[in-house]
Structure 1
Amino acid sequence: MTPTSPRPSLDRAPFDDQDGRWTPRRVALLIALAWPTQLLAAGGILGANATASVAQSFHTTQVAWFGLTLTLVSTLLTPFAIKLGDLYGKKRVMLAMTALGTVGEALAALAGSFWLVLVGRAIAGFYGPFGALSFAAVRDLFPRRLIKPASAIMGSSVGLVGLGTPFLAGWLVDTWGYRGALWFLAAATAVACALVALLVPETPRHAFDTGFDWLGGLVLGGGLTAVIYAVGQGQSWGWSDGRTLGWLGAGAAALIAFLFVERSSAHPILDLGVLRRRPVALALTAGGLAQTVAFTMPGLAILLALFPHIPGVSAGLGWTAQHNAVVSVSWNLVMFGTGLLVSRYLRHLDPRKVWCAGLAIMATGYTLVGFFHGNELELVLTSCLANVGSGIVVAGAPVLVVGVVSPHEQGLGSGMLNMLVSLFGAVVTAGAYALLNAHSTVFEGTAFYQDAGYAWMFWLGALATLVALALSLFVPPLRDPEEDARPA
C-alpha cells in the first residue's frame, strides 16, 4: 500500500522517472478504471432495453421500479462511498462495490418474482457510485502530466459504449429476454472486479479521522433520493398530487436539515466549506447540467426513432431497434472520436475555452435537431453536430472538476458531480416527458407524441446547455494538476 503522510493534503501517488509517458502499465490501469466506469452507462442502455421484457414476464404495472430502484440506492450511497474511499482507500471500496454489483445482478437474473428482481437491483445499486471514485483515483494514481488526458479519455469512452451496446442489448434481449441482459451485466461486473483487484493499486488516504457521520450521510442521501423519486414519479402522479408534493417537501426538508447536521458534526461526511467556494459550485453545477444533457438526450431520442409513424396521431419515425442502432453508429463515433481528440490536446489548450466551445456546439446541435429530425439524413447531420459538443463535454467535465479542487478534495468533487447528474437527469427527463405529453394524442390508452413535442424535447436540451454555458463563463481560471507540488 502507498505510504501516507500524517496530513491528508500531502498524499500523492508515487512519481517515477518516466512521469508523463504512457506505458503499458498505465494503459492497463486506465482500462481497469474505464471498464467498470463505463459499464454504468452500458447498464443503463441494457436496462432500458430489458424493461419491456421484465414487464411482460411478471405482468406488472410497476416496472418503472426496475430502473428506479438502482438509481435511488446509488444516490443514497454516494456520500458514503466518497467518505469511505477517503478513509480506507478507493481500491477497497471499489472492490466491495463491484462484488456487490455482481451479486445483485445475478440475483435479479435468477429471481422468480418481480419483488426479488427489485431486491437484486437494489443490491446492484451499491455499484452505482463507482464513477465518483474512479475519476478521483485517476488523480491519485497517474502522474501530473497525464491527469488531464486520462480523465478526458475516461469520460469520452462513453461514446464507445453507445456505439456497441444497442446492438448487444438487442441481441441479448431478443434471444434470452431480460435475463440475458442481467446475466451479461453480472459477468461484466465480475470482470470489472477482477480488473480492479489485479491492475489498480491502492490509492492514498485523504482522511485519517476514523469518525463517521452516519446521520449526515443518511440525511443527505435520503434527501436527494426523495427529490429524485418525486421528480421521477411526478409525471404519472401529477405535479400537484399530494404524493409528489409530499416527497418533494420531505426531500427539501432533509437537505436543509443536512446543512445543520454537518455544522454540528465532529466528523462531517462532506466538507461544506469546499462546496461554498464559488469556482467549485459553478464548475459542479455547469458540469452536472451539461453531462446530463449529453447522457440523457440520446436516450430520449430513442422515443422518436421507435414510436410508430401514424399521420395525425404519432410523429415517430417507426424504426426498428436494429435500424436505430445502425443509424446511431454515426453520432456515437463522432462523440467518441471528438472526446479522444480533445483528450490528446487538452494539455496544450485552455480547458475553459475548450469546455465553453463544446457547450456552444452542443446547444447549436440540439437546436437544429429540434428543427430537423424527420428522416435518417436530417437526424444524422444534426445529431453528429450535437455530439461533437457532447464529446467535448464528457471529456472536459472531469478536467473541469480537477481544475477547481485540490487533490484531497477530488473524491468529494467527483461524488457531488455524480449526484448532480442523477438529480438533473431526473429533472430533465421529467421535463421532456411533460413537453411530449403536452403535444400528444391518446389512442386506445396509449399516448403518441406529435412532432412539436419532439422538437421541444430537443430544444429543452439546448436550453439546459445554454444555462450551463452561462454558468461556465463565470468559472475562474482552472488550476493545472501539473503544478501541484511534488511530494517530498
Structure 2
Amino acid sequence: MGPPVHAAAGRSEGTPAVTGTVDGGVPVGGTAAVAEDPHRWTPRLVTILIVLILVSEIIPVSAVLAGTALPTISAEYATTQAGWTMTIAFLTASIAMPLVGKLADMYGKKRLLMVVLAITVVGSLLSAVASSFPMFLLGRALQGAIFSVAFLCYSLIRDVFPEKIVPFAVSVTVTGTGIVVVLQPFLAGWLIDNHGVSGAFWFVTVLTAVLAGAALLMVPESPVRSSDSRPDLMGALLLGSSVAAVLVAVSSAPQWGWTSAGTLGLLAVGCALFAAWIVQAGHAPEPLVDLRKLRRPALLYTVLASGLVYGVGTTTSSILAIMAMTPREAGGDYGFGMTASEFAIFGVINGIGIVGGGLIVGLTVRRHGAKVHMVAAAVAIAVGALTMGLGRGDELLVLTATALAHLGVGLAGAAIPNLVIAAVPPDHQVVSASLTEVSRTLMAGIGTTVVFVVLNANIQAMAGGRPVYEGIGFQWAYALIATCAVLGGLAATRLPGRTGEPSTA
C-alpha cells in the first residue's frame, strides 16, 4: 500500500492546547520547533529526519515481506487461508489508526509512536516463533499497529521542526529515500528463500526494535496537546468485531458451506454489530468514524473512490506472488515457477509504478485537478487487473499489466489528500482524512479476503500442504478487482470538475 494520508493523525476539530516548544519557548507560527536555527538544517534535524524516514519505511518493508511470503506461509502452515496474513493487519490498522491519533493528541505523539513500535515488535516476534497459523495471525494482527507510524511521523515533523522546513521534511518522509523501493523486494526474496517465514519476521522484529531505540534516543516529544480529544473505544470494538465476523464467515464459507449454521450465524452477528455501530456512531460526541460528515456529497464520493480504487486496487499484489511462484506444470495455463528472489522484479516494477503515479499527481494536480487523477487511476487499475487475469500465462504481459495497475495505485494514493482538501473546509480536513484512511485500509482487508474466497472456490489440487488454484480462479479474482476499480471511478466522476489546490505533503 501507499503511504497513509498524514492528515489522518486524529487531531480533534477543537483547538489543541500548545504547551510550548521542546526548549521551553512558545511555538512560532503554529509549529513547535526544536531549539535550532529556524532558517537552516542542522545535524540534529537531519538525524531526526533520517530516523523518522526509516521508521516510516517499516510499513512497506513489512508489507512486501508478508505479501511475498504468502505462498511459503500457505505451504508451511498447510492452510488455504493465507490471505488472512494481509487481511488481519489491514483490519486492525483501520481500527487502530483513529484511536492512536486521538491518544497521540492527548498523551503525546512520540509516546504513542513508542507504544506502536513496541506492539509491532511483539507482533513480529510472535509471527517469527509461531508454531501454528492462529498464533502467526495473532502476531500479524498486532503488526497492523505499524500503519499508524506514518501519520505520527508526519505530525511530529509538523510539531517539532522549524516551520520553514516542514513541507520539505514531510515530503521526503512520504516518498522515502527511493532506495527502499528497489531494495526491499530483493531483501524480501532473499530472506524468504534462505531463512523462511520465521527468518523474514525475525528481520522485522530486529529492525523495528533497533529503530524504536533510535527514535527513543533521537526524536523529541511534541509539546502539542488536545485536552478535549476522546477515543471512541466502544466504536472501535463494534466496528472491528462486525467486520471480523463477516470476513471470517465469508472466508470460511467454502469449507463450512454458505448455508451452514456457522456461516449464517457469523454473518448475522456481524450485521447486527455493524448496525449497532452505525447507531453508536450517530450518538457518540467524537465517534471513531464520523459518518455525519458523509452528508457532504464530495466527501462521500471521495471516501467511496478511496476504498474501491486504492484500497481494493492494492490487493492485486496480494495474489500476484502466488500466481508467479506456482510452477507452470502445476498451474496449467499460468505460473512462472519463480523463487521469492526471482519474484523481486515484480516488486520493483510495482514500487516504481506507485512512485511514478505519485510524481505525476504532484506535477500536474494544479493544472488538471485530482478528480482526473482518480478517474485515471481507476482505469489503469481496471485495465491492469483484467490483463493480469486474462494474460496470466505470459510473464512479460503480466509484468507490464502489474506496472500499469500500480501506476494507478500511485495516482490514487496521491490524489486522495488533494480530494479531501477540496471536499471539506480546513477545520474538517483531519476528521475527513481519517474517513478516507479507514475506508482504504478496511477495503484492502475486505478485498483481500474476497479474492481469496474466489481462489479457494477454484482449488484444483493440494501440493505439499499448499493449494494449487485453477487459472480461472485468478481470472475471476482480478475481474473482481477491476469491477471495484470501475465502481470507484464512477464515484470519482461525481466529484467537482476542479478539486482545488494540492496538498503540501
Q: TM-score, normalised by structure 2?
A: 0.76
Match of 1:351 in 2: 370
Match of 2:25 in 1: none
**1:449 maps to which of 469, 473, 486:** 469
Match of 2:487 in 1: 467
Q: Displacement of 1:149 after TM fit? A: 8.2
Q: Displacement of 1:270 after TM fit? A: 4.2
Q: Displacement of 1:472 after TM fit? A: 1.0
Q: Displacement of 1:185 after TM fit? A: 0.9
Matched, 1:14 2:21: no
Matched, 1:127 2:134: no
Local SS of the residue matching 2:121? helix
Output the amino acid matched with 2:469: Y
**2:380 maps to which of 361, 365, 369:** 361
Cα separation, partners in 2 of 1:78 and 1:327, compared to 1, 3 Å: closer
Distance 1:143 1:344 in 2: 26
Cα separation, partners in 2 of 1:195 and 1:385, compared to 1, 3 Å: same
Q: Displacement of 1:471 after TM fit? A: 0.7
Match of 2:328 in 1: 309
Distance 1:128 1:192 in 2: 15
String of CA shifts for 1:419-469, please: whole Å, max 9, x gaps. Answer: 323332233234433444565534679754344333333332222211111
Match of 1:385 in 2: 404
Distance 2:271 2:95 in 1: 15
Greater displacement, 259-268 / 459-468: 259-268
Check conservation: 1:355, 1:396, Cα contact below 8 A: yes
Counterpart mapping for 1:140-219 below 5 A:
163-194=182-213, 196-197=215-216, 198-199=218-219, 202=222, 204-205=224-225, 207-209=226-228, 211-219=230-238
**2:348 maps to which of 324, 329, 347:** 329
**2:125 maps to which of 69, 83, 106:** 106
Cα separation, partners in 2 of 1:458 and 1:29, compared to 1, 3 Å: farther
Distance 1:158 1:238 in 2: 48
Match of 2:268 in 1: 249
Output the amino acid matched with 1:461: I
Output the amino acid matched with 1:256: A
Counterpart mapping for 1:278-297 below 5 A:
278-297=297-316
Q: Displacement of 1:213 after TM fit? A: 3.9
Match of 1:400 in 2: 419
Output the amino acid matched with 1:453: G
Distance 2:260 2:316 in 1: 27
Q: Displacement of 1:307 after TM fit? A: 1.5
Local SS of the residue matching 1:386? helix
Match of 1:433 in 2: 452
Distance 1:269 1:30 in 2: 30
Output the amino acid matched with 2:355: F
Distance 2:432 2:347 in 1: 32
String of CA shifts for 1:341-398, please: whole Å, max 9, x gaps. Answer: 5335545652222332333333333333344343232223333333332222222233
String of CA shifts for 1:14-56, please: whole Å, max 9, x gaps. Answer: 299x999999988776655554444223213323445666677
Distance 1:455 1:204 in 2: 50
Match of 2:296 in 1: 277
CA root-mean-square deviation:
4.4
Match of 1:96 in 2: 115
Check conservation: 1:351, 1:396, Cα contact below 8 A: yes
Q: Displacement of 1:72 after TM fit? A: 4.6
Greater displacement, 6-15 / 232-241: 6-15
Local SS of the residue matching 2:343? helix
Counterpart mapping for 1:78-89 below 5 A:
78-89=97-108
Local SS of the residue matching 1:175? helix
Q: TM-score, normalised by structure 1?
A: 0.79
Identity of aligned residues (%): 29
**1:319 maps to which of 338, 360, 365:** 338
String of CA shifts for 1:73-106, please: whole Å, max 9, x gaps. Answer: 4444334223223333433322211122123323
String of CA shifts for 1:114-170, please: whole Å, max 9, x gaps. Answer: 666555445444434434655666776789999998777666669865643332122
Output the amino acid matched with 1:14: T
Match of 2:21 in 1: none
Cα separation, partners in 2 of 1:52 and 1:359, compared to 1, 3 Å: closer
String of CA shifts for 1:239-287, please: whole Å, max 9, x gaps. Answer: 4333333333222222221233244445544444324322222212211
Distance 1:84 1:375 in 2: 49
Cα separation, partners in 2 of 1:431 and 1:413, compared to 1, 3 Å: same
Distance 1:108 1:446 in 2: 19
Q: Displacement of 1:305 after TM fit? A: 0.8
Matched, 1:221 2:228: no
Check conservation: 2:80, 2:466, Cα contact below 8 A: no
Output the amino acid matched with 1:455: Q
Output the amino acid matched with 2:212: C
Local SS of the residue matching 2:460? strand
Distance 1:168 1:220 in 2: 36
Output the amino acid matched with 2:361: V
Match of 1:458 in 2: 478
Cα separation, partners in 2 of 1:365 and 1:60, compared to 1, 3 Å: closer
Output the amino acid matched with 1:464: C
Output the amino acid matched with 1:8: T
Output the amino acid matched with 2:199: G
Counterpart mapping for 1:23-102 below 5 A:
32-50=51-69, 70-102=89-121
Local SS of the residue matching 1:441? strand
Local SS of the residue matching 1:367? helix
Distance 2:485 2:164 in 1: 30
Local SS of the residue matching 2:31? coil
Match of 1:486 in 2: none
Cα separation, partners in 2 of 1:259 and 1:63, compared to 1, 3 Å: closer
Output the amino acid matched with 2:233: W
Structure 2: segments with no counterpart, 5+ residues? 1-10, 19-28
Say how many residue pairs are matched.
479
Structure 1: segments with no counterpart, 5+ residues? 484-488
String of CA shifts for 1:273-320, please: whole Å, max 9, x gaps. Answer: 324322222212211222224421022122221112138845323233
Check conservation: 1:438, 1:453, Cα contact below 8 A: yes
